[in-house]
Amino acid sequence: MAVKTLNRTRFLIIVVISAFISLFLKGISIDFIENLKISSLISGTIFQNVIYLLIAFGSLISGILLGKLLIPDEPEENGKNNRKLENEYLTLPIQNNSNSKDIKRLFSGFSLENFSQQIKITIILICCVYIPLDCLFNLFPGIIEYTAHSFDANNLDNYFLIDSLFWMILSSTIIHSFVAIKEEFIFREFFLTEGKHQLKLGTSFIYSSIIFGLLHFYYIFQIKKENFSPILPILWGINALIIGFVSGYAFVKTHKIIPVILAHIVNNVLSTIAVRNFVQGKSFWESSFLYMYLPIIFIGIFIFIFNFSALIQEKKEFFKLFNKYWKEFPENDISIFFIDIIIILLISIIIMGL
């Protein structure tokens, strides 16, 4: 119990330190960006996302190194049992006390090894999970209108209103590339590599997925002055929660971050095109569903049919990883579950600064 609580406390401290460093750097960078007075809306948005990506990298690295100074690593004694459980899925980088190794571990998922296999995983994620989910949720009345409102409300600018479809897609791809790298670095690379190092595999998987979903629920606070139903941001959050679990599992199985980044980019760009079509007064069924979503869904159906047995096996492995969380409680101590609820809520609030 004491060791488990210590691990969770250490991980929370790392996140808190990272968030405070991030907020400090963001305050400086916002003044810097405003003083530059970049005339182009798109250039300013891209530059801002580049800065925020670098802040995410720097703050998480600083949080890990400072967190180690405050709470040293636990003895290697427990590491053997951890690795026995992990080998069922993958072998993560070896634990050690070297600061340079800590940083290297944090970026270990950015690898081009077995790139063709990574592309295959990317296509499966896009065609079988991301796009069908996005299409399904866009079918709910008012969800696209709410998405358009949220884009504007969150200062993502109106790049989806560019007249030229080509330049809109190019701008959207560049912008969402930095957004996807930042979010996947935080929620997959950090939580599932460093998080596993501090906690255990099942626990870090639950933390990563649920926090990713919860952070998309905060849009519910933006509907007070608008006539939107609270169910819309809830649906958005559920979508993100499902994506969080699937993307987390994909990363755990491969320890490669590129497939989830690419799938994230494609999903966001297509969603942006759907919003653009809506703003221009085009029918969702004719402009987005028929010519954009439906072909990808058909590809996903073919992939599912030809890989049926393999995907069914992946489903079983997914639930085994999900259930691993409960098995990691020491002597079935259910009190750890309530500690996790508190920490997940705290981290969800704190990590908004990242």
Number of domains present in the structure of the chain: 1
Per-residue pLDDT band at 222 (split at 50, 70, 90): low
Mean pLDDT of 121-136: 96
pLDDT tens string 7-64: 788 888 889 899 899 988 888 887 777 676 665 666 767 888 888 899 999 999 998 8
Q: Which domain holds residue 326?
A: 2-353
Residue 108 CA from chain centroid, whole number: 17
d(CA 249, CA 255): 10
Distances (CA, A) of 145 to 149, 158, 188: 6, 14, 29
pLDDT for 82: 45
pLDDT tens string 138-174: 999 888 888 877 776 344 456 767 778 888 899 889 9
pLDDT for 289: 94
pLDDT for 224: 56
For 139-153, give the DSSP string. TSTTHHHHHHHHHHH
pLDDT for 90: 47
pLDDT for 80: 46
